[in-house]
Structure 1
């Protein structure tokens, strides 16, 4: 089905559900994050996970860009397919990386044609991935707050942004991270989703610093159930922060037993999610790594209720 054809079809209610309105409900939200598959076989695996998780009726689901915006086309295509072929509410990721303002407008237009009204506006990792120097596109944008402002001029979109409880790798301080998040809110962001983290204190610190600056911005914790020990090194590289010793030691103690690692990973995520919800977090955003079993175990442990 072409975008032009889909744009003329009636919009199912799930496609235009407002994420900020869902966050304002009494029950906590829960949502899932996927990454774009690299090939057709991986895409088939992804859709198996999506269909399993669809049955839980999450508040929304999102599809990331790859490092440096490398998977933009596949990310856009998968997000549009979720909008057209499932009952799920898609949150479209959009980054500044490697894109001119004209290209960003075009991507937003494609999302709009597919009935997508919720966008997560990100600066994104530098070309080449984390740790490389950030270089803006010569006709593009430099910061996420600029992208938020642009999207808000392009139609009736809700806009979310990223937050960093453990400090952004390029940030001089946790206070600076809070100030950046406030600027995003000032530009029109209505909620934030965090990078993954492992301690309640990291989340509460960020939330309190933002509140101290006069902003009542819903901040959704992003949690990733660890399913193998090799993920730990990758997590450190992606986040720029070490995995806490208390977490690493629990996983390394069972490193030779893959089933036990998965079990401990589910336990760690369940415990942290329970603590965060008890502290008033508006929901939980599960970073699935395109796999459903561990996420479904945590969801079941939390006794979460399907979105209405």
Structure 2
């Protein structure tokens, strides 16, 4: 099933993002959570990998396990960081051989301790180059790219950021999955700007349920995601872990309802290898746009 075909009907397509666990116990726990998440009939799962490609092999193992459990399509993240074109092609060949269906193509963050991304000799500098490589040599793989409703933190302005996104789409991307955001107005403005710029692929909002205030603050700092005043005030008003979880899940649930009411093609949930928050916010919802 092609990646873009998940977004062709009236159902709001759901997908979940995982990351490679570090232990055998973590993998077992992940498998249990994947089974729980399947209750919501996701279209596919994605899996990230560690900085600089440090867990690429584990990523493919996780995706193989997910496919075994669910019989659903799976997507591997892939970045340009620390890799030559030859190494990227080698990974793509291995991913294809192991049954990976889609690639989330990213430039990747600069290595820790550095401020500027520098391509290795024989490597790629931009995500659109990676998309072009996949599209031209691995046309069987669906391609997702990242979009930034609040503008990528390295971009000088929104216009430049949007131009970079259009280059990725023009190079062959099938869909855009957005960076997490906590105020839907940021997504809607971004979507409108994409349409005005001639970007006509599905723009899938990315949602991360906040389950504690410290987590919210840390993520906001790391991803430059603005936390709405009401959410910040409510979570800061209590130190009770269960209450903070309830507040964060309810906020993500309201985001979900509002997004579906405004005809999003799907929603991508960053679940941090857990299922409690996603299960709580999705329970009982009819995700039909």
TM range (shorter): over 0.9
Give the distance between the partners of 2:253 and 2:69, measured in 1 at CA.
31
Q: Which residue of 2 aligns with 1:89?
A: 73
Give the distance between the partners of 2:168 and 2:122, measured in 1 at CA.
21
The answer to whether structure 1 residue 145 and structure 2 residue 128 are counterparts is yes
The answer to whether structure 1 residue 160 and structure 2 residue 131 are counterparts is no
Q: Which residue of 2 aligns with 1:257?
A: 240
The answer to whether structure 1 residue 267 and structure 2 residue 254 are counterparts is no
Q: Which residue, out of 232, 235, 248, partners 2:232?
A: 248
C-alpha deviation, 1:99, in angstroms: 1.0
Give the distance between the partners of 2:225 and 2:182, measured in 1 at CA.
11
TM-score, scaled relative to structure 2: 0.94
Q: Is the 8 A contact 1:220 1:281 kept in 2?
A: yes
Q: Which runs of 5 or more structure 2 residues have no equivalent in the other structure?
A: none
Q: Which residue of 2 aligns with 1:291?
A: 274
C-alpha deviation, 1:62, in angstroms: 0.5
Q: Which runs of 5 or more structure 1 residues have no equivalent in the other structure?
A: 1-16
Residue 188 of structure 1 aligns to a residue whose secondary structure is: coil
Q: Is the 8 A contact 1:57 1:88 kept in 2?
A: no
Q: Which residue of 2 aligns with 1:278?
A: 261
Q: Which residue, out of 50, 62, 85, partners 2:46?
A: 62
Paired residues in the alignment total 287
RMSD: 1.7
Q: Is the 8 A contact 1:54 1:88 kept in 2?
A: no
Give the distance between the partners of 1:219 and 1:300, measured in 2 at CA.
24
Cα deviation 1:215-265 (Å, max 9, x = unaligned): 2121111001111222123202331344332321121122x1111111111
The answer to whether structure 1 residue 115 and structure 2 residue 99 are counterparts is yes
Give the distance between the partners of 2:135 and 2:4, measured in 1 at CA.
14
Q: Which residue of 1 aligns with 2:159?
A: 175
Give the distance between the partners of 1:117 and 1:180, measured in 2 at CA.
25
Q: Is the 8 A contact 1:96 1:144 kept in 2?
A: yes
Give the distance between the partners of 1:230 and 1:135, measured in 2 at CA.
32
CA 1:288–1:66: 2 relative to 1, 3 Å: same
C-alpha deviation, 1:284, in angstroms: 0.9
Q: Which residue of 1 aligns with 2:187?
A: 203
C-alpha deviation, 1:271, in angstroms: 0.9
Residue 99 of structure 2 aligns to a residue whose secondary structure is: coil
The answer to whether structure 1 residue 126 and structure 2 residue 110 are counterparts is yes
Q: Which residue of 2 aligns with 1:237?
A: 221
Q: Which residue, out of 180, 192, 209, partners 2:176?
A: 192
The answer to whether structure 1 residue 27 and structure 2 residue 5 are counterparts is no
Q: Is the 8 A contact 1:19 1:59 kept in 2?
A: no
Cα deviation 1:130-188 (Å, max 9, x = unaligned): x7321212121111100001011223121110111111110111222211111111000
Cα deviation 1:82-103 (Å, max 9, x = unaligned): 2344322211111111111111
CA 1:242–1:55: 2 relative to 1, 3 Å: closer
